[in-house]
Every structure is written in C-alpha cells, then in structure tokens.
Chains A and B, each alone.
Chain A
C-alpha cells in the first residue's frame, strides 16, 4: 500500500480508482495547524491514554460530547474544507456536500463494545456516491487499525450477491485473506469509498484509538437515506449551480 503525497491529486484519484481507498501524507505545516485547531475544538489532547481516565460505560457520553464540540458552528468540517479545499474539489467536484455531524470513533484497549463488524455504509442507507475522509487522531496500527476489502474483491461480493444466502460472518471468513489492514498515524489521511466492505477488530494494543470520519459527496449526486439538510450540508456551490437554482422553478 503506497502512501501518497497530499498534493498529488491525480495519483490519489488513480489509487482510488484502482483500490477504492488511499492513504496520503498531509503536509507537515498543515498537519501541525490542524492538530492545534483540533485540540482547541476538542479541549483535549493525548487521547492515546484516554483509557486511563475513562470507564467503558462513560465512553459513549464522552464521545457524544466530543462530537458536539466538533459540530458546533461547523468548526471541524470548515477546517477540513479550508485545509483540503483543492483535494476535495478534485474528488467530488465543485459542488460539495459534507456530513453535518462527523463520526468519532473511540476504541479503548480490549473494549468489545466498540467492535464494528464488517459492513458497508451504502448497504445501511448511505448513498454509494460518497467518500469518507478518515482522520486518525491517534495511531491506528495492527489490531487498532481498520480493515478494508479492496475494490475488486468488494465488488465481487456484491456481484455474486453473496449477502442473499450468507451471514456477514460467513462472508468475512471467506474473504479474510483479502482484507487489507489500514495502518495509519496522525499526519496521514485515509480516503475511501464506503461501498468497500470494512470494519474493525478489538483493539488489543495498549493505547486508545481515536479517529474522525466525515463523508463528502457531490451536491447533485443521488442521496440515500442520509439527505441534504438533515445529514449533509451544502458546503460549496459552483456559480453555474448557484445561478441555475435561482431560475429552476
């Protein structure tokens, strides 16, 4: 798995076309800026030792508190849009919709309740026309990493209609050699199509894993159950679209 440079938009698109996912290195200065901003938004840092100060029972309340801070005045998504402006336009076009409330995943060491079995977001209601920006706040290595089934193999499962007669576990077991472990550290960004089957395991490391996931799409591609207004917000509007909407009655 090759890690690309953030500015190589064409290479990033090529990698997404081939595998359905890509990991890129964020420019150092930008990463430092994002980290500073994020610490200010969340009012916390050193998340890898979070398990030393929080119980599993309190995890969801804390997670929701952090999400509420990220969502306040669109602080986090505006930060993403500002810092990755060119990249986002290259990926979805000039008319951009972004998830209003980003997802935040907290996985304490050995916590079984945070296990997310293999799934695809588009199978549970998201539009297939979305991409996920997966932003690691701590390292996600080995058991704390997400796993993903690359494009060709994920498509094979859809095309063979394996969901009809199999359980998720059956399919996972059948394809387990093909899953890729997405080892990623702060300073990198994972972009993936959530049509690909993915999930996580129990974090058997000694550190808490924290990541933020945000969906982006072109404003005018089809929506699933997660619609514009409730789940997505209009983030950028091309002038052609802006003028068009005024006269489109």
Chain B
C-alpha cells in the first residue's frame, strides 16, 4: 500500500485495503496484512525489504502509480527481480508484470509517462 497521493489524490488505507482484498479474493488468495510504504517522496525502505527477500515470488501493488519510475536505482531493482521470475500485480489497473512481458511493459510505461508529461501530442 502507499501513503502518498496516487493519481493526484490520496486513497485512504482503508480503501486501498478493500481494493486489494477484493483483487486477491478473485484470484483465490487470502489478504492478511499489507506492507505500507512510507510517505517521504522517492524513498522506498519497505519496497527495498520486499525486493531483498528472495522467498517472495509474487508482489501486489495497490496501483501502478506506486512504481518507483523516478528512481533509476529502484526501478532497476524491481525489473531485476521480475527478470528473476517474480510476478508483480497492480490491483487498480489489473495489470500483471512478469518476465515475458517486461520489455513491452517498459515501453508502455515510457509512452504513458511521456504522454502524461505532455511530450507526446495526441491527434
């Protein structure tokens, strides 16, 4: 879960919990206790812990917006774990990131982020 704004507003932990619990239940999984990232911008001590834990095979992010795209070091660590077989789900967007779609995911995100920053001009 995150403690910062996603998509320009902060989603209360209570609501993030509901979304994640629902998402996991549809996959037949039980939601127990979330890990909550701290709210200092561009700081990821909780994500670092998760990425270091080699027993973790699947990670569920509340939203794609939580991905550390602005930190080259951190995003590389995430991709490295995906390359090693870890699967990442983004509950709000219903996206699964895994080894086989990593390249396509990276391209998609580059396009989306440029679009958001106004670099790409739509017809």
Contacts and interface: CB of A to CB of B under 8 A. Distances in A.
B39 A167 contact: no
Contacts of A221: none
Nearest to B32: A113
A114 B49 CA distance: 17
Interface in A149-176: 163-164, 166-171
B45 interface: yes
Given A168-B49, A225-B12, A163 B33 contact: no
Interface residues of B, number: 20
A166 B48 CA distance: 7
Contact of B36 (A124, A169, A230): A124
A170 B44 CA distance: 12
Given A114-B33, A167-B52, A125 B13 contact: yes
A171 B12 contact: no
A123 interface: yes
A90 interface: no
A60 interface: yes
Interface string A103-134: 00000000001111101100111000000000
A113 B3 CA distance: 21
A113 B10 contact: no
Interface string A40-61: 0000000000000000010010
A124 B45 CA distance: 12
B3 A125 contact: yes
A20 to B, nearest CB: 18
Contacts of A114: 33
A163 B38 contact: yes
Contacts of B109: none
Given A166-B45, A168-B45, A60 B38 contact: no
Contact of A167 (B10, B13, B40, B45): B45
A123 B3 contact: yes
A159 to B, nearest CB: 13
Interface string B36-67: 11111011011011001000000000000000
Interface in A56-95: 57, 60
Contacts of A225: 3, 10, 12-13, 39
A222 to B, nearest CB: 14
B13 to A, nearest CB: 7
A163 B40 contact: yes
A227 to B, nearest CB: 9
Contacts of A164: 40, 42-43
A57 B31 CA distance: 10
Interface string B10-31: 1011000000000000000010
Contacts of B42: 164
13 contacts: A117-B35, A119-B38, A124-B13, A124-B37, A166-B48, A167-B46, A167-B52, A168-B45, A168-B48, A169-B49, A170-B48, A171-B45, A225-B12
Interface of A: 57, 60, 113-117, 119-120, 123-125, 163-164, 166-171, 225, 230
Given A57-B30, A115-B33, A123-B39, 9 more contacts: A123-B40, A167-B45, A167-B46, A167-B49, A168-B46, A168-B48, A169-B49, A225-B10, A225-B39
